[in-house]
Amino acid sequence: MLKNTLVHVVLLFTFTLSAQQTRRVVTLEEDWKFHKGEATNAETSDFDDAQWQTVSVPHDWAIYGPFDKEIDKQTVAITQNGETIPTEKTGRTGALPFTGTGWYRKNFNIDAADLNKKVLLLFEGAMSEPEVYLNGKKIGEWAYGYAYFYFNISDALLEGQNTLAVKLSNAEFSSRWYPGAGLYRPVSLIIKDPASIDQWGTTITTPVVTQEVAKVNIKTNFSSKNLSLKTTIYDAQNLVVAQQQTPVSYDQQFDQNLKVVKPSLWSPENPYLYKVVTQLYSGDDLKDEVATKFGIRSINYSAENGFQLNGETRKFKGVCLHHDLGPLGTAVNKAALRRQMQILKDLGCSAIRSAHNMPSFEQLELADEMGFLFLAESFDEWKKPKVKNGYNRFFDDYAEKDVVNLVRATRNHPSIVMWSTGNEVPDQYGSAGVKRALWLQNIFHREDPTRPVTVGMDQVKATMESGFGAILDIPGLNYRVHLYEEAYEKFPQGFILGSETASTVSSRGIYKFPVEKASMKEYPDFQSSSYDLEYCSWSNLPETDFMMQDDKPWVIGEFVWTGFDYLGEPTPYDTSWPSRSSYFGMIDLAGIPKDRYYLYRSRWNTEDETLHMLPHWNWEGREGKKTPVFVYTSYDRAELFVNGKSQGIRIKNDSTPQTRYRLMWNDVIYEPGTLKVVALDKNGKQAAEKTITTAGKPHQIILEADRKTITANGKDLSFVTVSVVDKNGNPCPTATNALKFKVTGKGNFKAVCNGDPTSLASFYEPQMKLFSGKLVVLVESTKNPGNLNLEVSGKQLKKATISITTL
């Protein structure tokens, strides 16, 4: 148990080349050949792949579609959802063609001098069950599609051209959400001296952290003998703050302690990063050099103080995220991740849970740089299955190897503050599950003694009886808010984490009447209401969790399901078609915030004002009918006006969970015109206001880019939000116009998404209908600097053009 344990720092997995080129990292990104389907002898060097598709990696072969209800159709009872009778599920894994076999081939050259080097082949993610061949010979295989792994290929290389071939196999019934397909994360060669620092061989912690001084401990594992190590710490301005050189090692490991005076401590508010450069010498000969970013911070968990970062108690304001990036699928893209995380920053979110798998290196790098606390999760399954062909097939042979690689690859990130060994695993029942939980937790502790371990538990009663929950460092409860008090009394840790909360469902800009609380509510259009009163059978509305966070000091925070919508799991429309993506997100699949985003923002973002009103005010045919108005605001009171007539003042109060956190006018009678809310301070004076005006017919297209300048590297992205306004400039919230997109200049059309969970339109065709008045177009740079221009047009609409600079 890591209770009351000071947990230490962190490092970012990054290889940096020295001026002497002690090691090289070659990213195998371009000019891969890809084929979907079986291919006899595709592993051999002389195989003719000329007719195969040329792609860049990262690559997700399935995201291009088409959507098809027959793909991975499952007849199953989802026990996690409380189902007992099997039903046909058509969109559970996104209805995209991820199943089957795919082949990738890549030629690369090796100089004669490199044949005397140690060469590693690193895969950061391959979906799934990769079999890897080099020059016709199998050099290895792996199983888990989310795992990082590498092979030493030094003895299999040839001078000149080498041929790498990778076979991937995605079985049916192998996932509960859209897993993607292909080499969806980077592949690289690491070329270094045989006498070198081991792969993931550097461990940085800070056993002592105060405002005055920090002790930085650096353990460096290496190969060979009679070596010395020089270690230098640089601050963010690249100034040396500490240095040490030692010839003394023990069992192929150097163990150094360096002192940093008046350290700048890492936190979400101050994500300050230092850099360690470790240099391995044989005499005066530099053999290897690795540069690593890291942060200085301490963490502590206790019954007395809950979770503490740098000695200060705080609660997790977190979201769960699946790994797909909406219209990009699972192919990792740093620009898309950065946009996601900037939107979360504006929300006031301070924490992310990688659900339910190992995060990408890019996501962790951004979490370090931008300031997010991170719960790094490993598995959704252990030995007992949730789906027929899930990780249960590999658990015995691979679980320890996968955990070891996860920890060693990522343990130095300051953002990671806890590990998770699993999510809602069926092994929660019985003594065998308790032993598995302890076994996995002990592996994490062995590899990283500085961080605690949790499991997202949904069978809370069972874990109370079996002892499963009692052995965890941090008891994580998925929903089951009604059991929090009992769990707090029975579990020995003295605190509880909401490892998964809410599961509220909504569709952006869609409002249903009458306005009422409902569980698993379904409608003929397969949408959910954005009045934010609909939830799942196993869950609850957001306010129930808010009250737990605010009223119970022993509840140390929450991770909301989910931050963004994701492909697959279209609850409550699991059995409906077309419905192929989730409704859980505060933000839709296109990255456009829903109303619920502002409910959370009103409590999480304590720096900025929030004043958000719903619904829209275009309700032809509802004249004279009750149309409730909700306001999500950081103020505690406001007055509402319809066409200048006051609807009264509302003040947040404790009469119901909703009135404690929302301002609600339930008896507003709809009439076209202007809806205005005026937020009031505690003295009753106007502090802020917002208006919504009934819009006329769509007249003009409006474009707004998240970035007007991007990098000319052939993969950077700008996300352009497209909307329409009437002739007076009022947004048209119900517009569904069909639009076309054209990109000219130094860029390309990449993808488009409107956030509609029922849309079967391809993300990769330059045309799509607006959903609730909006959509997002992704444009991609080329490698040539200049300007790219996006033109958006539609029938009877004034078209628009936006220019993006690429540098």
Q: Would you name the residues annotated as active-site residues?
A: 424, 500
Spatial separation of the C-alpha atoms in residues 283 and 224, rounded to whole Å: 13
Spatial separation of the C-alpha atoms in residues 562 and 573, rounded to whole Å: 17
Spatial separation of the C-alpha atoms in residues 467 and 383, rounded to whole Å: 18
Query: Is residue 610 within 8 Å of 599, Cβ to Cβ?
Result: no
Spatial separation of the C-alpha atoms in residues 767 and 188, rounded to whole Å: 35
- The DSSP secondary-structure symbol of 85 reads S
CA distances from 470 to 488, 496, 654, 796 (A): 11, 11, 34, 64
Spatial separation of the C-alpha atoms in residues 317 and 311, rounded to whole Å: 18
Strand ranges, E, within 90-212:
100-110, 118-123, 131-134, 137-141, 149-152, 160-170, 187-192, 197-209
Spatial separation of the C-alpha atoms in residues 584 and 776, rounded to whole Å: 19
Segments in 392-459 forming alpha helices (H): 395-410, 430-447
Spatial separation of the C-alpha atoms in residues 275 and 290, rounded to whole Å: 10
Query: Is residue 534 within 8 Å of 516, Cβ to Cβ?
Result: no
Segments in 424-507 forming alpha helices (H): 430-447, 460-466, 468-471, 484-490
b/e code 167-183 from CB counts within 10 Å (16+ = b): bbbbbbbbbbbbbbbbb
Spatial separation of the C-alpha atoms in residues 535 and 542, rounded to whole Å: 9
Token output for 113: 């001098």
Query: Is residue 427 within 8 Å of 384, Cβ to Cβ?
Result: yes
- Among residues 335, 47, 282, 310, the alpha carbon closest in space to that of 165 is found at 47
Provide the β-strand partners of residue 633.
611
Query: Is residue 292 within 8 Å of 219, Cβ to Cβ?
Result: no
- Residue 421, Ramachandran bin (φ over 0: left; ψ between -120 and 50: alpha; else beta): alpha
Query: Any residues with CB less than 8 A from the CB of 100 and at least 6 apart, and which?
Result: 36, 37, 169, 170
Spatial separation of the C-alpha atoms in residues 556 and 299, rounded to whole Å: 13
Residue 710 Cα to chain centre, angstroms: 22
Query: Any residues with CB less than 8 A from the CB of 607 and at least 6 apart, and which?
Result: 348
Angle at 636 between CA 634 and CA 639, to 5 degrees: 105
Spatial separation of the C-alpha atoms in residues 260 and 357, rounded to whole Å: 35
CA distances from 47 to 41, 44, 55, 136, 771 (A): 7, 6, 18, 9, 46
Spatial separation of the C-alpha atoms in residues 147 and 361, rounded to whole Å: 11
| 3-class SS string, 647-700 | EEEEECCCCCHHHHHCEEECCCECCCCEEEEEEECCCCCEEEEEEEECCCCCCE
Query: Is residue 636 within 8 Å of 654, Cβ to Cβ?
Result: no
Query: Is residue 179 within 8 Å of 22, Cβ to Cβ?
Result: no
Token output for 359: 């995060």
Residue in the structure block whose two tokens are 């550097």: 202
Burial class (CB in 10 A: 0-12, 13-18, 19+), 736: middle
